[in-house]
Amino acid sequence: MQSARIASIYCDANKKLIGIPHAKGDLQNYILSDIFFELEPSYSNKELGLFIDKLFEVYDNATPALEGITAMQKYTGLEAYAEAIKEYHLVTVTQEINKSFTFRPMLVDKKQEDSFTDIKGLSVKAQIYNKFVPVSSDSKALAFKVAMDIIAEQG
């Protein structure tokens, strides 16, 4: 049975994006993989949409991060996950079974600095209006940018 796919997109103060596909672990748990992709600032909506697509293209081949070292730790070179994510915002992206997308803006949890929490349960959807037409790059980019705006308002 096919299930939803998940990826994390971290954004720094300069709007550089680090995208990490999740890998399916035991008991259908989703965990971060050990691979990441970068997108430099000044990207167009089309480039942003293609970046999001790339995260899901490798999803089936993504393997869990080994030995507790996450892709963000690998990317930043920092030993502790809490330190690695300290300067980043996070949007969790879910590709639903029907191929629509949900973008969840996240903030660092004030009680546990090594994790993120939903912002008041808000999410932004990029929907398919015709089941034979994939969600456009512009729709995904817009939904991602709205999620980032929510983080900026709440942060």
- Averaged confidence pLDDT in the chain: 79
Closest to 126 (Cα-Cα) out of 114, 140, 138, 112: 140
Confidence of residue 8 (pLDDT cuts 50, 70, 90): very high
Closest to 154 (Cα-Cα) out of 71, 65, 146: 146
* Contacts of 17 by beta carbon, 8 Å cutoff, 6+ apart: 9, 10, 11, 38, 39, 43, 48, 51
Q: How far apart are CA 143 and CA 146, in angstroms?
A: 5
Q: CB 134: neighbour CB atoms within 10 A?
A: 14
- Give me the pLDDT at residue 19, please: 95
Asked if 22 and 8 touch (Cβ cutoff 8 Å), the reply is yes
**Per-residue pLDDT reduced to its tens digit, 71-106:** 888 899 998 888 888 888 899 898 887 778 888 888
Classify residue 17 as exposed, middle or buried by CB count within 10 Å of its CB (0-12, 13-18, 19+). Answer: buried
Higher pLDDT, 133 or 38: 38
HEC assignment per residue over 83-143: HHHCCCEEEEEEECCCCCEEEEEEEECCCCCCCEEECCCCCEEECCCCCCCCCCHHHHHHH
Domains for the chain: give ranges and CATH numbers.
Answer: 5-154 (3.40.1590.10)
Q: CB 98: neighbour CB atoms within 10 A?
A: 10
- Give me the pLDDT at residue 28, please: 44
**Per-residue pLDDT reduced to its tens digit, 18-68:** 999 887 654 345 566 778 899 999 999 999 999 999 998 887 777 776 666
Residue whose tokens read 């929510």 = 150
